[in-house]
Amino acid sequence: MANFLEASEGTARPQMPKPSDLAKLRKQAGKTQSQESVLDEMTANVAVDAAYNDDESIVEAPRIVNFGRTLKNMSEARHFFRTNQTPIYFIGATPVNLLGLDRWVRKFSYITYYDGWDGHHPRVFTPSEKPHVDFQSSEEINNWLLENPEVREYIDARRTPGGQRPKIAMVFFDEETEAICEELGYDLILPSHELRTHLDSKIVTTELGNAAGAHSVPNVLGTADSYAQLQKLSRGAKLGDDLVVQTPYGDSGKTTFFITSEDDWNQYSKHIIGEQLKVMKRINNQPVAVEAVLTRCGTVVGPILTELAGYKELTPYKGGWCGNEMHPDVVTDGQRARAIELVRKVGAGLESTGYRGFFEVDVLVDTDTDEVYLGELNPRISGASAITNVTAGAYADIPLFLFHLLEYLDVDFELDVDEINARWEELSGADVWSHMIIKETDDIVQYITHAPRTGKYFLDSKGKLQFSRSALDWHQLQNHKEAFFLRIYGAEDYRWKGADLGVLVTKAKLQYEGKKKTKLTIDAKHFISSIRAQYKGIDVPPAENR
């Protein structure tokens, strides 16, 4: 199974036992009546939290009242979404990227492969029949969901006669996804796969940024078949001999090479020769993530987040992304202003390509010179979206992704983007949110017999992490002693090294600056170990997991 947040890259994993092999493991696990009572309790708890968002009746088609004039301000935009009649679905392995948007948008639902609420979230639908499929990517999961008969019936049953076609959003998709949506009569409300693939190139990003005035770290573009040719390129651009070399496509952790000598070149040359290259001067930098939406009125820029990467407590992958955090000290006020301006320039560059909607920019802050540079462009919803949509700015106006929806729904709007950005820039440093992607880090293959529940947790007076109640999302967290855990793999699933176990969200800083490098806080480590301790399983014999 592909990891849900890193699905664009293949994930090595053992082959799991087929469903026919599960009987003996279930017997070994010994299902108990107490588990059934836990689910009964969960149903009651969720019903209280879901009071604001009751399932609407689908027996009678409601009368459609179109919003008959141009939206002029945030109040009208909020009204538009609260009375929305167009069915909108986010499809993915989990709903984590856009979880909570159903609080804002009527008829917004999630169709997912994994259901952390075991059927008790009123807006999450998961097929009941899921035969064993060894998915290799998120695209495969999404295409399987779209073609699933239960999913198709779920969407068709919620169509309004004479109403709008269902709208589909997702993180990863391909040409097959586009063909499926066209055949089924769904609107994929995202830029085309062809355009996104074109923009995914680090070379194209650099050229687009240069043309728009959003410059990268000092660099030169070209090819090199030997270390001597690489040196000729770099010295011609006065980059020195301490270099960062990138190839056009792929995860930055696997297509970025640090080269200071011919030995380094010899180590990585097989990945570099024959590729178009971006050769950069190596700088000391702080990477930050900024999400934005390109609309017909301009580019709306979200808050600036820093990332969690490479922590052995969270991921077995060196340098692997494992979360984000937002707090007032991520960058200085001056750096924030320059980063926002850089992202707006990227938006202007994207407009010339015909791109519309959501995108994410990795910004590099030079810690020696204070310069701000364009790092990478991700033309899609990103892992940081989970935090972006709950900020103070989102609650002052609307969540960032709703600007994307405005661009793709049948509505006219004229909004003052400059005024919105100025307000969000002021508010972005006044809030604290963080999330961690917790992966299995041990070299094991286990059949899971017990897993922590999705919901709200808190640290009690003795510092122990306690389950408080079931909850639909993390929007109601109040302080740094509370956390929301979204379970991904649960009982009767498998866990293996690198598998995504779940996502923990909290209103706390999870990192601090150590003497030599950034480290996880004590509270962050305590949250992680407390969640891990709740996973129990039975080892799968080696002969069965080959």
- Residue 332 belongs to some domain of the structure: yes
Same domain membership, residue 139 and residue 109: yes
**What local confidence, expressed as pLDDT, does residue 152 receive?**
98
Mean pLDDT value across the chain: 88
Percent of the chain with pLDDT over 70: 86
Task: State the pLDDT confidence band at 427, using cuts at 50, 70 and 90.
Answer: confident
Average pLDDT of span 409-413: 95
Same domain membership, residue 457 and residue 425: no
Stated length of the chain: 546
Element (H, E) at 181: helix 175-184
**What local confidence, expressed as pLDDT, does residue 298 receive?**
97
- Which of residues 385, 412, 431 is at a domain's end? 431
- Which of residues 264, 281, 298 is at a domain's end? 281
Task: State the pLDDT confidence band at 516, using cuts at 50, 70 and 90.
Answer: confident
Task: State the pLDDT confidence band at 177, using cuts at 50, 70 and 90.
Answer: very high
**What local confidence, expressed as pLDDT, does residue 360 receive?**
97
- Residue 372 belongs to some domain of the structure: yes
Which region holds residue 131: left if phi is over 0, alpha if psi is between -120 and 50, else beta? beta
pLDDT in tens, 369-382: 999 999 999 999 99
Give the residue with greater pLDDT, 505 vs 29: 505
| Contact present, 374 and 409 (Cβ < 8 Å) | no
Q: Residue 261 belongs to a domain with what CATH number?
A: 3.30.1490.20
Strand order in the sheet with 167-169: 124-125, 108-112, 88-92, 167-169, 187-188
- Residue 100 belongs to some domain of the structure: yes
Among 412, 364, 504, 470, CA closest to 120? 470
Identify the residue whose tokens are 């708890």: 45
Same domain membership, residue 418 and residue 311: yes
Which residues form the domain of 109? 70-195
- Lookup: tokens for 342: 């850089």
Same domain membership, residue 379 and residue 441: no
pLDDT in tens, 340-355: 999 999 999 999 999 9
- Residue 258 belongs to some domain of the structure: yes
- Residue 36 belongs to some domain of the structure: no
| Contact present, 365 and 285 (Cβ < 8 Å) | yes
Task: State the pLDDT confidence band at 318, using cuts at 50, 70 and 90.
Answer: confident
Same domain membership, residue 363 and residue 352: yes
- Residue 3 belongs to some domain of the structure: no
Same domain membership, residue 347 and residue 249: no
**What local confidence, expressed as pLDDT, does residue 337 receive?**
94
C-alpha to C-alpha distance for 295 and 402, rounded to whole angstroms: 11
The beta-carbon contacts of 63-72 under 8 Å, at least 24 apart in sequence, are 64/160, 64/162, 64/163, 66/410, 67/411, 69/412, 70/412, 70/413, 70/414, 71/406, 71/411, 71/412, 71/413, 71/414, 71/415, 72/413, 72/414, 72/415
Q: Residue 306 belongs to a domain with what CATH number?
A: 3.30.470.20
Q: What are the angstrom distances between the C-alpha of 381 and each of 96, 99, 136, 190, 454?
A: 11, 12, 20, 10, 23
Same domain membership, residue 423 and residue 299: yes
CB environment 488-521: b (16+ within 10 A), e (fewer): bbbbebbbbbbbbbbbbbbbbbbbeeeeeeeebe
Same domain membership, residue 344 and residue 264: no
Give me the number of domains the chain comprises. 4
- Residue 316 belongs to some domain of the structure: yes
C-alpha to C-alpha distance for 320 and 253, rounded to whole angstroms: 7
Average pLDDT of span 457-464: 94
Average pLDDT of span 233-240: 94
- Which of residues 281, 303, 318 is at a domain's end? 281
End-to-end CA distance of the chain: 14
Strand partners, 502: 438, 487
- Lookup: tokens for 88: 């909108």
Same domain membership, residue 311 and residue 405: yes
φ and ψ of 339, to 5 deg: -65, -40
CA angle (344, 348, 354) in 5-degree steps: 135
Same domain membership, residue 507 and residue 479: yes
pTM: 0.88
| Contact present, 90 and 170 (Cβ < 8 Å) | yes
Same domain membership, residue 391 and residue 343: yes
Task: State the pLDDT confidence band at 336, using cuts at 50, 70 and 90.
Answer: very high
Q: 478 burial class (0-12, 13-18, 19+ CB within 10 angstroms)?
A: exposed
pLDDT in tens, 23-76: 666 666 665 444 444 444 444 344 344 434 445 444 454 455 555 689 999 999
**What local confidence, expressed as pLDDT, does residue 266 receive?**
94
- Residue 8 belongs to some domain of the structure: no
Same domain membership, residue 298 and residue 249: no
